[in-house]
Amino acid sequence: MIRKIILDKYPDWEILEASSADDAKSLLKDHRDFDFFSLDQNMPGTLSGLDLAEDLKNNYKVAKIVLITANIQDAIKNRAKTIGIDFVEKPVTSEKIIPHLD
């Protein structure tokens, strides 16, 4: 759904998808320039979305990072804020995602 929302707005964007935070880290080795990351808090593998977000924030200073999750606990929201990333509550809609793309 996020892919469709992005491509409807920016059809020329290249989108890479990973099935887990660990897979995402593997993709990063082959691609160095990113403008936007969308993550879920509850991802398969050894890292959570917030764990990955911390790593991304350190290595991709200008990239926009958004945590899109149904996990709306205050602790999750507060950690996202501390890291310096945006928080979007599921369900995913274009109205929730598009403002974070610009």
Residue range 9-48, pLDDT digits in tens: 999 999 999 999 989 988 888 877 889 999 999 988 888 9
Residue 7 lies in a domain: yes
Biggest distance spanned by C-alpha atoms of the chain: 36
Tally the domains of the chain: 1
Cα separation, 90 vs 70, whole angstroms: 5
Residue 58 lies in a domain: yes
CB-based contact 63:55 (threshold 8 Å): no
Residue 70 lies in a domain: yes
Q: What is the predicted pLDDT for the residue at 102?
A: 80
**Structural domain boundaries, residue 76:** 2-14+33-100
Q: What is the predicted pLDDT for the residue at 44?
A: 86
Residue 24 lies in a domain: no
Cα separation, 97 vs 41, whole angstroms: 16
Cα separation, 57 vs 80, whole angstroms: 11
The CATH number of the domain holding residue 80 is 3.40.50.2300
